[in-house]
């Protein structure tokens, strides 16, 4: 199944926000802090700032990645879209634009940890939840190009 990547447009805020909201609602360990409208607004802000790339197939957004410089702020896939290559494609596109990427994922999100390690990220630290809104322990990761690692 093929899909393509493109910069998010303002009208993608609803779909991206729904993906983010569904993750919050469907993940048992995730605190339910935000309404659907708040998730859409948050995604709209990231889109307005030019941070968001979406993976799309047949007119439907499968997922999105938001990146501010070297920091991956968000990478979320629609329910049922995991394992189809959209997340890897979004991450590969971000890697192609920089020498280094950083991100944080929740310690409870073991699937994300496996994915990021498989994609060449290394753990650089851990947090106790005091520095994120959810109050959940998290893990910092970093990826660098081979040229950066050798330097």
Per the listing, tokens 């309404």 go with 35
Convert the pLDDT of each residue in 75-94 to its tens digit.
999 998 888 899 999 999 99
Side-chain-side CA neighbours of 131 within 13 Å: the count stands at 10
10 Å CB burial of residue 88 (0-12, 13-18, 19+) is middle
Q: What is the pTM of this model?
A: 0.93
Superfamily of domain 4-150: Gcn5-related N-acetyltransferase (GNAT) (3.40.630.30)
pLDDT at residue 151 is higher than 60: no
- Greatest CA separation found in the chain? 45
Determine the Cα angle at 21 with ends 14 and 72, to 5°: 85
Q: Are 123 and 112 in contact (CB under 8 A)?
A: no
């Amino acid at each position: 199944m093929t899909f393509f990547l493109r910069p998010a447009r303002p009208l993608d805020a609803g779909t991206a926000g729904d993906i983010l909201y569904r993750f919050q609602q469907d993940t048992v360990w995730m605190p339910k802090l935000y309404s659907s409208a708040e998730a859409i607004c948050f995604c709209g802000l990231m889109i307005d700032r030019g941070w968001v790339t979406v993976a799309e197939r047949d007119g439907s957004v499968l997922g999105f990645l938001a990146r501010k410089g070297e920091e991956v702020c968000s990478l979320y896939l629609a329910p049922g879209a995991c394992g189809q290559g959209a997340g890897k494609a979004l991450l590969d596109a971000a890697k192609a634009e920089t020498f280094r990427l950083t991100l944080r994922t929740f310690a409870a999100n073991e699937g994300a940890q496996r994915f990021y390690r498989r994609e060449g990220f290394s753990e650089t630290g851990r947090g106790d939840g005091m520095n994120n809104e959810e109050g959940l322990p998290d893990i910092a990761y970093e990826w660098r190009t081979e040229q950066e690692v050798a330097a």
